Amino acid sequence: MTSQPTLTEAEEGPEGPPQAGSGLQAGLKNRHLSMIAIGGVIGAGLFVGSSTGIATAGPGILLSYALVGTLVVLVMRMLGEMSAANPTSGSFSAHADRALGPWAGFSIGWLYWFFWVVVLAVEATAGAKILEGWIPAVPQWGWALIVMVVLTATNLASVGSYGEFEFWFAGIKVVAIGAFIVVGGLAVFGVLPGVDSGQAGLGNLTEHGGFLPNGAGAILTGVLLVVFSFMGSEIPTLAAGESEDPQRAVTKATNSIIWRIAVFYLGSIFVVVALLPWDAQSIADKGSYVAALDSLGIANAGQIMNFIVLTSVLSCLNSGLYTASRMAFSLGERGDAPRAFARTTRRGVPRTAILVSVVFGFVAVFFNYEFPDSVFLFLVNSSGAVALFVWLVICFSQLRMRRIVEAEAPERLVVRMWLFPYLTWAAAAVIVFVLGYMLTDTEHDGRTTVLLSLLVAALVLAVAVVRQRVGTARAAAGKD
């Protein structure tokens, strides 16, 4: 067994970052971190993809969201424990590097980077479709290019620019979904005057085939459909390294995850399935949130939701580019990527890491337009299960890291995982079960997603193992 570096050594890195710039800087304010934490759990997938889950599980989709939400809360608690003890831009990748070995940090870091550069293409295309509908004179590919260029410029300016843009993007999402819950909730309980809400009521939860119209098994299928909409909840732990008080930022984000998921996910989905029967054709035709707004007689509901979705897309793009670049920076800092990735400008911006990430995002956008049913479909499916891989690695890292911190610096355990190690093992078991269940899902491409993601993960892991063995052999040769 190789010896592990101390916490201080882990923070500084084995060689220290390249000296071309001044390193990452604390450019994120507390309000930026607070809004990034709140908005991070509200992805465009919640607005766009929830209708499929409702059609599959009926009102029982609430249990699917509750199960995944509980899992995310546990995983974030583990990640919060490690990140509060040792805040770093590499977050779970850096923790895995220390707790499990360089092969783990290398593999999960590159898989996570791959996931987000594919997301850049998906979100840029989604945003471009909405913008083209508003201004058709600009082609869809042109809008995708414009959106990517603008947000790249924002991220290149300074981390404060990213934080400011994300503050307002996330703020719009939070206000919109909060208003939706309040207005929709008043309609459900019959106290909202002046709107057409004749279909609304708690009876919609049980009167159309029951709470589980498609059986209890549909809950698990719903889990597969909604699990990926939670990806992004870990972003505050990456961003905390560039805040004024990283430990406080991580602790606050970790402690607030329960109410954020309860309100924004469970609260809004509850309103949707209570406003309309789960099998209403309008949900399938228009999407769950647009159909819900339409049922209240709110004019231009579709355009209102398009604006909210566009804001969510821009937020996801902004955070995706930031997250991919910081993971690339961390990989470069640890020697798992070209050292140029760890160079920063005088403003503390990892310019090379940002540009490399966005270039791969542009390439993926090209594939989306030229080869949507082959190359791009492969990219999407092969990155689809990365969220579950990340969560599983967090579980195993925390099992080891808790013992390391307890031995070296127990005062840093300001956030502790509940019922350690039992809940950690339980969460890991649930993740493995979900991956296994996905292999039985052929209707929603679950099997394809897992198999292709495992293929890519195996390739990355093989590279990691070869690199580690070569490095060990060189080190041994140097001693001779």
Residue 219 lies in a domain: yes
Computed over every residue of the chain, the mean pLDDT equals 86
Percent of the chain with pLDDT over 90: 37
Lowest-pLDDT choice from 167-181, 294-308, 380-394, 431-445? 294-308
Indicate whether 97 belongs to any domain: yes
- Indicate the range of 20-29, 149-158, 355-364, 376-385 predicted with least confidence: 20-29
Q: Is pLDDT above 70 for 242?
A: yes
Residue 414 lies in a domain: yes
Please indicate, yes or no, if residue 452 is contained in any of the structural domains. yes
Instruction: Provide the pLDDT for residue 249.
Output: 81
Range of the domain at 215: 26-472
Rounded Cα–Cα distance for residues 376 and 425 (Å): 35
Q: Has residue 467 got a pLDDT over 50? A: yes
Instruction: Please compute the mean of the pLDDT values over residues 139-158 and round it to a whole number.
Output: 90
Tokens 């600009």 correspond to what residue? Answer: 138
List Cβ neighbours of 347 (8 Å cut-off, separation of 6 or more): 25, 27, 157, 158, 159
- Is pLDDT at 125 greater than 60 in this prediction? yes
CB proximity list for 185: less than 8 A, separation 6 or greater = 271
What would the pLDDT profile of 257-268 be if each residue is shown by its tens digit? 888 888 888 999
Amino acid letter, residue 449: T
Is it the case that residue 21 has pLDDT exceeding 80? no
Number of domains present in the structure of the chain: 1
Distance CA 46, CA 43 (A): 6
> Average pLDDT, stretch 144-152?
90
Q: Assess whether pLDDT exceeds 80 at residue 153.
A: yes
Nearest residue to 160 via CA among 306, 340, 347: 347
Going by C-beta distance under 8 Å and a sequence separation of 6 or more, which residues neighbour residue 113? 324, 327, 328, 331, 357
For residue 11, is pLDDT > 50?
Answer: no
Burial class (CB in 10 A: 0-12, 13-18, 19+), 87: buried
Q: How far is CA 383 from CA 110, 111, 122, 416, in A?
A: 11, 8, 12, 31
392's tokens: 């599983």
15 in a domain, yes or no? no
Non-local (6+) Cβ contacts of 353 within 8 A are: 324, 325, 326, 328, 329, 332, 341, 342
CATH number of residue 130's parent domain = 1.20.1740.10
- Rg of the chain over all Cα atoms, to the nearest angstrom: 22
Q: Report yes or no on 14 lying in a domain.
A: no
Q: Does residue 477 sit within a domain? A: no
pLDDT, tens digit (0-9, with 9 covering 90-100), for 47-104:
777 888 898 899 999 999 999 999 999 999 999 999 988 888 788 999 999 999 999 9
Residues 299-358 pLDDT 10s: 787 888 888 888 888 888 888 899 999 999 999 999 999 999 999 988 889 999 999 999
pLDDT mean over 380-390: 88
* The pLDDT of residue 258: 85
Per-residue confidence (pLDDT) for residue 6, from 0 to 100:
45
Question: What are φ and ψ of residue 159, in 5° steps?
Answer: -65, -30
